[in-house]
Every structure is written in structure tokens, then in C-alpha cells.
């Protein structure tokens, strides 16, 4: 026995609606890709404005961590 829902559905109209939804989905994906690229460009511009270029010449004194000369702490409380 068919239900009201199955008797009232129009398969042609349903297929057309699904195709329209697929087209809209593609447009939304394109818009999202454009928005993502714009956001990444904005972040890159902000980062590049804040970062300072450092260049070293032979003979310059620089700070280095020397973890090899330090004694090992107990493993129980050390970070992983």
C-alpha cells in the first residue's frame, strides 16, 4: 500500500531540484575557496609586516641552547 508521501512525490521535479542543489554547492565551494585564499593572503601580509629579518655574519655572537651539557632531569616529572 503506497503512502501519501510516495504518491505525492514527483521524481522529475525532485531530480531537477537535486541538480540545482549540486550547482549551488559548486558555487559555494568556489566562494569558499576564494574566501580562504583571501584570508590566507591577509594573514601572510600581517605576518610579513610583523616579522623582522635577521641576518648573521661570521663572527657575530649569537645565543644558542646547549642542552647536551645539562644533566638529565628525572624522567618522572619531565615533559614528554
Displacement of CA 19 from its chain's centroid (Å): 29
What is the residue extent of each domain of the chain? 4-55
Task: Supply the pLDDT for residue 73.
Answer: 65
Q: Specify the range with the lowest mean pLDDT, choosing from 3-7, 16-20, 48-52, 56-60.
A: 3-7
SS3 65: coil
Task: Supply the pLDDT for residue 7.
Answer: 81
Q: How far apart are CA 10 and CA 33, in angstroms?
A: 35
Extract the C-alpha cell encoding 18.
537535486
Is the pLDDT at 72 greater than 80, yes or no? no
Dihedral sign of CA atoms 72, 73, 76, 80 in order: negative
- Name the band, by pLDDT with cuts 50, 70 and 90, for residue 1: confident
Task: Supply the pLDDT for residue 35.
Answer: 98
Task: Supply the pLDDT for residue 23.
Answer: 92
Amino acid at each position: 500500500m503506497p503512502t501519501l508521501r510516495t504518491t505525492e512525490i514527483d521524481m522529475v521535479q525532485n531530480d531537477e531540484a537535486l541538480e540545482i542543489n549540486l550547482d549551488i554547492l559548486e558555487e559555494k565551494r568556489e566562494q569558499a575557496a576564494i574566501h580562504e585564499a583571501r584570508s590566507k593572503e591577509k594573514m601572510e601580509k600581517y605576518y610579513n609586516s610583523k616579522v623582522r629579518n635577521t641576518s648573521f655574519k661570521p663572527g657575530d655572537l649569537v645565543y644558542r641552547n646547549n642542552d647536551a651539557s645539562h644533566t638529565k632531569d628525572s624522567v618522572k616529572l619531565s615533559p614528554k
